[in-house]
Structure 1
């Protein structure tokens, strides 16, 4: 079985994914890292050089590739991955895959993301906490339709990676 972690940027997908994979003795893959390795560019550079549409097409292609080649793994998706190009359907139609939505509150996401916004192309231009909160609020509203279609949901607020991993394992089994 493969476990796909979805959620907004800053929800802990990568951190929890590594911990969950270790606990379950599975391979770990971060889709964004996989894309960077395949394209030999950072996500930021891909956006800069080719734009979001190019990135989303590649993201969908690599998602299919990862799901086909890496069974028995934990895979962290990018925050927007389930919302574009039929990617959620790709995940849901794969009978050996279960998805978990790492649900994080608006306030917690804003707090986590503000300090690291320069590393994230979609929010690098934002200069104030209030502006970031409005941006995240809008995205959460738009993306919640997709996120809430995950097989399971784990709330991440006030929890460390270990607690979230344990709750994820309990949800799966």
Structure 2
């Protein structure tokens, strides 16, 4: 089985994904990490040098490679991955996959992301907490259609990583 974690940046996909994979004894793959490995560059640098379209093509290529593998995996998708092209459609059409949306509120995402915005190319230009909150609110509105196509939705605001992992494993039974 392949378990795909989706959600907005800062929702906990990477940290939850690593922990979930460890508990299930699955391979863990972070899509953004794979892109950085393949390119030998940070996501920020790829965005700056080549732009978002180039990045999205790389993302799709790696996604297709992952889908072609037979291993049991937990995959953390980038926040925009399910919203680009037909990425989410091809994931959901695959046999033996589960999609899980880690849903976080605008307030929680703003708090988590404000101090790490320089490492996030999509929000690095936003100077104030208010600007970040407005940006997240708009983005979540645009992306909700895709995220909500996930088979499982976990609200993560009040939960620790271990609690999120427990909820996921219960829903996978």
Residue correspondence of structure 1 range 55-134 to structure 2 within 5 A: 55-69=55-69, 71-134=71-134
The total of aligned residue pairs comes to: 173
In structure 2, runs of 5+ residues without a counterpart are none
Q: Does the Cα contact within 8 Å between 1:57 and 1:85 map onto a contact in 2?
A: no
The alpha carbon displacement at 1:40 in A equals: 1.3
> How big is the alpha-carbon RMSD for the aligned residues of Structure 1 and Structure 2?
0.8
The alpha carbon displacement at 1:71 in A equals: 2.6
Residue 148 of structure 2: aligned partner: 148
Q: Does the Cα contact within 8 Å between 1:4 and 1:74 map onto a contact in 2?
A: yes
TM normalised by structure 2 equals: 0.98
Q: Does the Cα contact within 8 Å between 1:56 and 1:85 map onto a contact in 2?
A: no
Residue 31 of structure 1: aligned partner: 31
Q: Does the Cα contact within 8 Å between 1:91 and 1:97 map onto a contact in 2?
A: yes
Secondary structure at the aligned position of 2:51 is classed as helix
Residue 20 of structure 2: aligned partner: 20
In structure 1, runs of 5+ residues without a counterpart are none
